[in-house]
């Protein structure tokens, strides 16, 4: 058998259609709040070997009103929200500091699941960013000092020079401090959707919405 031509591989990629089935998500199975439900599904994604199960695609709004997305890694989740770390002066950092509105999706395709978070992202406490930065490998700490994330640079060589400069600067330092422009954001959700693929596109969609008193209500959406 010969390999499929690139054209037919492309054709297949555009036509692929899996009928999701086996699993379901019932109201009766749902945890009492979105954090408990999320952590249960995240643990399952890790156990079932989803690649980078903590990766989420994060959408923000640029100052000109245009949407912008990218992948970041979830580094903490508890009743306060979903935390990730980045450069506050990056495109996403500037966007969020000007407009905290945010949405993120955890795309667990191999499980036929996605979780979509809607809310606001605010910087985490400086102590939390310090603790997380201190626990990073030295190379990652030097990289944080070497990269003005999202800014243009003349060449790869110029970037590597910035790394050498930062490395030299901290050569004798017992520990590398956190750059002030680097730290965490916590997404405080007001709405979290749990999506489970079902057969014939009749998927389960259960959405938690936070009420004024902090309680969560659940509703089912049509697929």
Ligand X SMILES: Cc1cc2nc3c(=O)[nH]c(=O)nc-3n(C[C@H](O)[C@H](O)[C@H](O)COP(=O)(O)O)c2cc1C
Binding site for ligand X (CB under 6 A): 52, 55, 68, 70-73, 84-86, 90-92, 149-150
DSSP-assigned letters across all residues of 31-91: -SSHHHHHHHHHHHHHHTT-SSTTEEEEEEE-TTS-EEEEEEE--EEETTEEEEEEETTSH
CA pair distance 107, 114, nearest whole angstrom: 5
Residue 29: phi and psi, rounded to 5, are -90, -10
Residue 108 or 208: the one with the smaller Cβ distance to ligand X is 108
CB of 174 to ligand X, least distance (A): 26
Tokens standing for residue 32? 């009492």
Rounded to whole angstroms, what are the CA distances from 215 to 33, 77, 188, 191, 209?
Answer: 9, 18, 14, 12, 8
CA pair distance 69, 64, nearest whole angstrom: 15
Region of residue 158 (phi > 0: left; psi between -120 and 50: alpha; otherwise: beta): alpha
Residue 82 or 195: the one with the smaller Cβ distance to ligand X is 82
**58 contacts 72 by C-beta, under 8 angstroms:** yes
**149 contacts 87 by C-beta, under 8 angstroms:** yes
Residue carrying the six token digits 């960013």: 129
Residue 30 or 107: the one with the smaller Cβ distance to ligand X is 107
Among the options 48, 80, 138, 201, which is catalytic? 201
Residue 107 or 205: the one with the smaller Cβ distance to ligand X is 107
CB of 122 to ligand X, least distance (A): 16
Is there a catalytic annotation at residue 181?
Answer: no
Q: Kindly list the catalytic residues.
A: 201
């Amino acid at each position: 058998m010969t390999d499929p031509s690139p054209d037919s591989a492309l054709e297949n990629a555009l036509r692929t259609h899996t009928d999701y089935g086996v699993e379901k998500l019932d109201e009766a199975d749902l945890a009492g709040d979105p954090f408990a439900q999320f952590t249960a599904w995240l643990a399952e994604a890790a156990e079932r070997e989803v690649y980078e199960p903590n990766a989420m695609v994060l959408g923000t709004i640029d100052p000109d009103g245009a949407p912008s997305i990218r992948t970041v890694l979830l580094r903490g989740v508890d009743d306060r929200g979903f935390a990730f770390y980045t450069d506050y002066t990056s495109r996403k950092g500037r966007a969020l500091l000007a407009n905290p509105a945010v949405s993120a999706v955890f795309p667990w395709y191999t499980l036929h699941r996605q979780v979509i978070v809607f809310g606001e992202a605010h910087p985490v406490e400086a102590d939390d960013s310090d603790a997380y930065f201190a626990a990073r490998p030295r190379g990652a700490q030097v990289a944080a000092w070497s990269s003005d994330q999202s800014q243009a640079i003349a060449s790869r060589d110029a970037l590597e020079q910035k790394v050498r400069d930062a490395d030299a600067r901290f050569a004798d330092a017992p520990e590398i401090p956190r750059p002030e422009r680097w730290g965490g954001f916590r997404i405080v959700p007001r709405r979290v959707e749990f999506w489970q693929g079902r057969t014939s596109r009749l998927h389960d969609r259960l959405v938690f919405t936070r009420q004024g008193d902090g309680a969560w209500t659940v509703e089912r959406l049509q697929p």
